[in-house]
């Protein structure tokens, strides 16, 4: 996790790459309204390159917190400045623990407001839309902690749209703090960008911290923080210039999570009660309690699927967890597949000796070669150990018993019927201990673990496969490792309170907080009697009186206070608890809980798993869109189908002579960046940016490549070698192939004025493919920038940079970033190399890795020009000659040889050519499959469209001009 200097090290390449992929959680962009989707019509569709006509005017986030209850409003305004109607989309992310409460779009003074409806009813509308072939879902899982809300609407020319999304959540105290995560990903700098948070905590704020994953040193001072006793005001509003990645480039550095962490004072042991508008809320988290000893049995799945990294991570986490046990704790270890083994038959006290023996045992856990798990037997064995030790009085009387089960699968051996396992475990535990189910990866039956844990005073957690899995395990263990109280009872006067949320808790852990809310029968209550009891190291018993404070009198001018906050907090908490109850218990209890949760969700306009928000679009023939709340199972489903990922990213920093490695914070929330220090050479400057967050949520490349951004000019060659000339001003593209003998070197770009030369050499298949046609590909590029004396050779194995007598070699297998005075390079492992040559050209070379044992194909490269506007008008070469555009006309469309690929006549450069409508693949966004781009194909090695003949472009060496 640390770089060579002991500091987290990140490379800017990810940043660039991310933005280049144009993925963002707030994307407001113009997407041409799609035309026909099949047949020739599709092929004839012009690619709309009408970029920049949608102006995102503002994006603001306003998060108001009062007593841990947070309401966040995200607002964005965009204008369609183009001369045709365009689809404008709004895409934001919200924490999965939050409920959307409102969404509206204002278009031409008309406001369209989302309606919260019963999910089943909304689904009927939805199903109609689905059967009509339109997908209408607005919410998708995004990483581990967030969900993405996106909507798009057709906006007339010169019209404005304002989107407003509001969500609410109760912040949960974890490991001693509350955390607000605001994810912002505008794709481009925005005129007015603002994040504001006003926090009001009647108990007083003990500390508060705000940072963002994307903040550089320059931007850090822009985070304004004003804290007085009970209030904090935090704002961040960089100007459009400050948002830019660099003065003239289009990207924005605003891309990631803005995170606020704080805690409150806790003076009274009894906690704090707030009464407002007929509701009360009680926060209970006494400080200075002595922790209780715990007796914990770890139950570890060693079945075949845990092999490799998973087991290593569990072993790593277990070593740390064992180290952290307190002397008075007792522990046991069980490992299982279809059979169950325990380290020792009873629990052992956490003495140094026992711990080191246990560590040795854990290190030796061997993965079974079978893929079968007897979860039932393993958990029952753990229960039995605890029960036996309790009965034999081997465990301290005042202590807490818990089982931590770690598995990545489903019960497949022994008892495999889930309801029976749950029943067996419930009966064996008999309410006397807590069971925590940790589900590793996304094959686990999470619902099963969730119910089984909840039924036994515990909870389930997902552990995502990734480099940080060991940390996730430890993090979870930290949350439950210090029990303070058992059987906590919070009591209020019966005659004064109704509709109370849960007021009995099996345990209170250090760093957490218990929250109870309810409705008051008497609005003007003066003396509100509160009693709290719990069993602890010393038994806890406190009684106190509270009275209502009229906040509106105390803070008359205060816009922090949303008047009905206690009621909404109460409703939020009640619904969350009802949703949990709807999963456990008897059938009629479940049904009642579900019905009540539904009623309240509708009454308070919360989008919960039982309700949906229906958004009706202005155009009558558009089907309504539906926003849902995803359940953990649905999220898991999406992960399995590849929609969301929890992959790891491994970055390898390489520091090279003569170059300065500039590190920019990157935003891969929910990922831990594993950095492997390679070579660090002395005498170089490392610029490190603070506030790098090692954990957060993120998406992997497949997700990143979903949305194809609007079409920038693009000239490239890829595949066998197909040349593609996109003409943004014409919304069209031309393409041609050039074939020749393997080994031939072609000139692609040559600009004598700026001193740029790009040549490429082709290679053929390993042997003749079955169809008898040898494909050729580019496998080597030579790039020269004479003016500044830089030369690059890029082949399918490595990249060599020559400058000032020095030679630097980079491997495709190691991601790296290189920033020098004349050349910047960003290498994404085995995928792409982005090169910016000073004052001239920016391009990217894609590496196509072919299966090593492929009978005839080999690895090859694609060359894409990203920015050529600085090249002179004398730029030439197979690609370079098109950088200034080309004039042509197409007429006489007629059926061609292949159905769906019509022929036409093209008038260009004073000649008539027979051309064919077809398509070629652009691999920039999807290096595996590519994306089809419709184009006019010019036959015979591009004869007629290129100046002269293809053979005129053959050169004698990789860095030669002739």
* Smallest separation (angstroms) from ligand NAG to the CB of 187: 25
Residue closer to ligand NAG, measured from CB, 813 or 912: 912
Task: Indicate whether 164 belongs to the interface with ligand NAG (CB under 6 A).
Answer: yes
Cα separation, 829 vs 660, whole angstroms: 20
Are 72 and 158 in contact by the 8 Å Cβ rule? The answer is: no
Binding residue for ligand NAG, selected from 275, 485, 826, 950, defined by CB under 6 A: 950
* Smallest separation (angstroms) from ligand NAG to the CB of 164: 5
**Cα four-point dihedral sign 389, 392, 395, 398:** positive
Task: Indicate whether 898 belongs to the interface with ligand NAG (CB under 6 A).
Answer: no
* Smallest separation (angstroms) from ligand NAG to the CB of 592: 4
Cα separation, 458 vs 476, whole angstroms: 12
Q: What is the CB neighbour count within 10 angstroms for residue 631?
A: 17
Residue closer to ligand NAG, measured from CB, 125 or 605: 605
**Cα four-point dihedral sign 381, 386, 391, 395:** positive
* Smallest separation (angstroms) from ligand NAG to the CB of 804: 36
If you search the block for the tokens 């046609």, which residue do you land on?
A: 773
* Smallest separation (angstroms) from ligand NAG to the CB of 881: 15
> Considering only 706-714, 752-760, 790-798, 944-952, which stretch makes contact with ligand NAG by CB under 6 A?
944-952
* Smallest separation (angstroms) from ligand NAG to the CB of 118: 16
Contact string 443-472 vs ligand NAG (x = CB under 6 A): ------------------------------
Q: Which of 810, 804, 769 is nearest to 790 (CA)?
A: 804
Binding residue for ligand NAG, selected from 174, 412, 535, 914, defined by CB under 6 A: 914
Task: Indicate whether 938 belongs to the interface with ligand NAG (CB under 6 A).
Answer: no
**Token pair of 113 as six digits:** 């407001």
Pair type for strands 649-651 and 673-675? parallel
> Considering only 286-294, 440-448, 832-840, 945-953, which stretch makes contact with ligand NAG by CB under 6 A?
945-953
- Binders of ligand NAG among residues 604 to 623 (CB under 6 A) are 605
DSSP code, position 177: B
CA angle 783, 784, 790 (to 5 degrees): 115
Task: Indicate whether 941 belongs to the interface with ligand NAG (CB under 6 A).
Answer: yes
Q: Which of 29, 125, 495, 502 is nearest to 281 (CA)?
A: 502
Are 224 and 212 in contact by the 8 Å Cβ rule? The answer is: no
* Smallest separation (angstroms) from ligand NAG to the CB of 816: 36
* Smallest separation (angstroms) from ligand NAG to the CB of 589: 4
Task: Indicate whether 773 belongs to the interface with ligand NAG (CB under 6 A).
Answer: no
Binding residue for ligand NAG, selected from 104, 216, 265, 787, defined by CB under 6 A: 104
> Considering only 2-10, 694-702, 799-807, 949-957, which stretch makes contact with ligand NAG by CB under 6 A?
949-957
Cα separation, 616 vs 136, whole angstroms: 11
* Smallest separation (angstroms) from ligand NAG to the CB of 104: 4
Task: Indicate whether 102 belongs to the interface with ligand NAG (CB under 6 A).
Answer: yes
* Smallest separation (angstroms) from ligand NAG to the CB of 245: 33
**Token pair of 359 as six digits:** 């560590």
For the CA atoms of 564, 570, 573, 578, the dihedral, rounded to the nearest 10 degrees, stands at -120
**Token pair of 320 as six digits:** 């740390």
Using CB under 6 A as the binding criterion, the count of chain residues that bind ligand NAG stands at 17
Phi, psi for residue 86 in degrees, rounded to 5 = -140, 155
Residue closer to ligand NAG, measured from CB, 104 or 731: 104
Residue closer to ligand NAG, measured from CB, 217 or 951: 951
Cα separation, 279 vs 647, whole angstroms: 44
DSSP code, position 738: -
Task: Indicate whether 113 belongs to the interface with ligand NAG (CB under 6 A).
Answer: yes
Residue closer to ligand NAG, measured from CB, 76 or 701: 76
Contact string 569-598 vs ligand NAG (x = CB under 6 A): -------------------xx--x------
* Smallest separation (angstroms) from ligand NAG to the CB of 573: 19
Please tell me whether residue 583 adopts helix, strand or coil conformation.
coil
Cα separation, 376 vs 371, whole angstroms: 15
Integer CA distances (angstroms), 570 to 68, 177, 357, 552, 575, in order: 12, 21, 49, 20, 9
* Smallest separation (angstroms) from ligand NAG to the CB of 375: 29
Task: Indicate whether 109 belongs to the interface with ligand NAG (CB under 6 A).
Answer: no
Distance, CA of 264 to chain centre: 29
Q: Which of 632, 629, 628, 695 is nearest to 181 (CA)?
A: 695
DSSP code, position 529: E
Residue closer to ligand NAG, measured from CB, 10 or 94: 94
Cα separation, 130 vs 115, whole angstroms: 19
Binding residue for ligand NAG, selected from 34, 172, 191, 951, defined by CB under 6 A: 951
Pair type for strands 611-615 and 625-628? antiparallel
* Smallest separation (angstroms) from ligand NAG to the CB of 950: 3
Task: Indicate whether 739 belongs to the interface with ligand NAG (CB under 6 A).
Answer: yes
Task: Classify each residue of 755-785 as buried b or exposed e, where b means 16 or more C-beta atoms within 10 Å of its C-beta.
Answer: bbbbbbbbbbbeeeeeeeebbbbbbbbbbbb
Task: Indicate whether 816 belongs to the interface with ligand NAG (CB under 6 A).
Answer: no
Residue closer to ligand NAG, measured from CB, 592 or 691: 592
Residue closer to ligand NAG, measured from CB, 287 or 741: 741
Residues of this chain that interact with ligand NAG (CB under 6 A) are: 102, 104, 111, 113, 164, 588-589, 592, 605, 739-740, 912, 914, 941, 949-951
């Amino acid at each position: 996790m640390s770089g060579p200097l002991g500091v987290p090290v990140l490379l800017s390449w990810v940043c660039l790459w991310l933005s280049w992929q144009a993925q963002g959680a707030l994307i407001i962009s113009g997407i041409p309204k799609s035309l026909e989707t099949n047949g020739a019509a599709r092929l004839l569709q012009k690619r709309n390159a009408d970029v920049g006509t949608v102006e995102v005017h503002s994006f603001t986030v306003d998060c108001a917190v009062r007593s841990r209850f947070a309401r966040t409003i995200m607002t964005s305004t965009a204008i369609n400045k183009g001369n045709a109607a365009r689809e404008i989309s709004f895409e934001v992310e919200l924490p999965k623990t939050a409920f959307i409460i409102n969404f509206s779009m204002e278009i031409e003074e008309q406001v369209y407001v989302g309606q919260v409806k019963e999910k089943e009813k909304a689904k009927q509308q939805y199903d109609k839309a689905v059967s009509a072939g339109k997908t209408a879902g607005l919410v998708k899982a995004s990483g581990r902690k967030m969900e993405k809300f996106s909507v798009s609407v057709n906006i007339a020319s010169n019209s404005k749209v304002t989107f407003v999304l509001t969500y609410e959540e109760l912040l949960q105290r974890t490991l001693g703090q509350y955390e607000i995560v605001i994810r912002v990903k505008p794709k481009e700098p925005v005129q007015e960008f603002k994040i504001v948070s006003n926090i009001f905590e009647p108990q007083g704020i003990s500390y508060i911290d705000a940072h963002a994953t994307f903040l550089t040193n320059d931007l850090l001072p822009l985070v304004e923080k004003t804290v007085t006793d009970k209030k904090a005001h935090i704002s961040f509003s960089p100007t459009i210039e400050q948002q830019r990645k660099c003065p003239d480039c289009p990207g924005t550095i605003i891309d990631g999570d803005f995170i606020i962490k704080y805690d409150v004072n806790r003076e009274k042991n009894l906690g704090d009660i707030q009464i407002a508008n007929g509701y009360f809320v009680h926060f209970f988290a006494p400080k200075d309690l002595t922790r209780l000893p715990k007796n914990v049995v770890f139950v570890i799945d060693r079945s075949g699927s845990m092999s490799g990294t998973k087991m290593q991570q569990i072993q790593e986490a277990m070593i740390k967890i064992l180290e952290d046990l307190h002397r008075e704790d007792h522990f046991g270890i069980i490992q299982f597949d279809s059979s169950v083994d325990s380290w020792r038959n009873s629990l052992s006290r956490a003495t140094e000796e026992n711990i080191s023996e246990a560590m040795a045992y854990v290190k030796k856990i061997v993965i079974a070669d079978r893929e079968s798990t007897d979860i039932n037997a393993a958990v029952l064995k753990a229960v039995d150990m605890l029960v036996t030790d309790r009965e034999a009085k081997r465990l301290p009387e005042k202590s807490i018993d818990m089982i931590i089960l770690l598995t990545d699968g489903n019960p497949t051996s022994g008892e495999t019927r889930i309801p029976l396992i749950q029943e067996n475990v419930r009966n064996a535990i008999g309410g006397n201990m807590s069971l925590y189910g940790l589900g590793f990866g996304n094959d686990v039956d999470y619902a099963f673990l969730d119910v089984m844990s909840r039924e036994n005073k515990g909870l389930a957690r997902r552990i995502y496969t990734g480099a940080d899995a060991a940390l996730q395990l430890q993090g979870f263990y930290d949350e439950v490792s210090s029990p303070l109280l058992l059987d906590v009872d919070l009591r209020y006067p019966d005659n004064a309170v109704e509709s109370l949320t849960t007021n009995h808790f099996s345990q209170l852990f250090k760093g957490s907080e218990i929250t109870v809310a309810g409705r008051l029968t008497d609005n003007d209550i003066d003396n509100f009697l509160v009693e709290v009891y719990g069993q602890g190291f010393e038994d806890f018993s406190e009684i106190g009186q509270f009275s209502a404070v009229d906040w509106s009198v105390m803070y008359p001018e205060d816009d922090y206070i949303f008047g009905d906050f206690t009621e909404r907090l109460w409703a939020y908490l009640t619904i969350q608890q009802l949703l949990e109850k709807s999963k456990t218990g008897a059938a009629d209890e479940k049904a009642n809980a579900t019905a009540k949760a539904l009623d309240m969700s509708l009454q308070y306009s919360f989008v919960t798993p039982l309700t949906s928000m229906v958004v009706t679009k202005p155009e009558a023939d558009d089907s309504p869109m539906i926003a849902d709340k995803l359940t953990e199972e649905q999220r898991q489903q999406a992960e399995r189908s590849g929609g969301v990922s929890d992959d790891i990213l491994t970055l390898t920093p390489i520091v090279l002579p003569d170059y300065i490695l500039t590190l920019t914070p990157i935003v891969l929330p929910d990922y831990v960046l594993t950095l492997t220090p390679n070579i660090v050479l002395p005498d170089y400057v490392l610029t490190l940016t603070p506030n790098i967050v090692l954990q957060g949520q993120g998406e992997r490349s497949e997700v990143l490549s979903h949305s194809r951004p609007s079409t920038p000019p693009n000239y490239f060659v890829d595949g066998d070698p197909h040349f593609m000339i996109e003409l943004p001003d014409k919304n069209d593209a031309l393409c041609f192939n050039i074939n020749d003998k393997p080994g031939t070197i072609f000139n692609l770009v040559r600009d004598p004025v700026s001193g740029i030369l790009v040549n490429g050499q082709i290679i053929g298949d390993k042997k003749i493919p079955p169809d008898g046609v040898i494909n050729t590909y580019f496998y080597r590029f030579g790039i020269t920038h004479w003016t500044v004396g830089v030369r690059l050779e890029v082949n399918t194995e490595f990249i060599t940079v020559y400058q000032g007598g020095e030679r630097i070699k980079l491997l495709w297998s190691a991601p790296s970033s290189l920033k020098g005075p004349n050349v910047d390079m960003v290498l994404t492992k085995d995928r792409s190399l982005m090169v910016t040559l000073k004052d001239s050209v920016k391009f990217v070379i894609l590496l196509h890795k072919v299966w090593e044992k492929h009978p005839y194909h080999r690895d090859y490269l694609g060359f894409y020009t990203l920015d050529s506007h600085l090249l002179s008008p004398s730029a030439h070469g197979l690609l370079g000659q098109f950088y200034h555009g080309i004039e042509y006309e197409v007429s006489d469309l007629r059926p061609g040889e292949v159905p769906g690929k019509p022929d036409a006549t093209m008038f260009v450069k004073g000649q008539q050519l027979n051309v064919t409508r077809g398509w070629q693949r652009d691999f920039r966004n999807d290096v595996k499959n590519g994306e089809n781009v419709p184009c006019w194909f010019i036959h015979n090695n591009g004869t007629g469209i290129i100046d002269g003949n293809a053979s005129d472009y053959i050169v004698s060496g990789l860095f030669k001009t002739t």
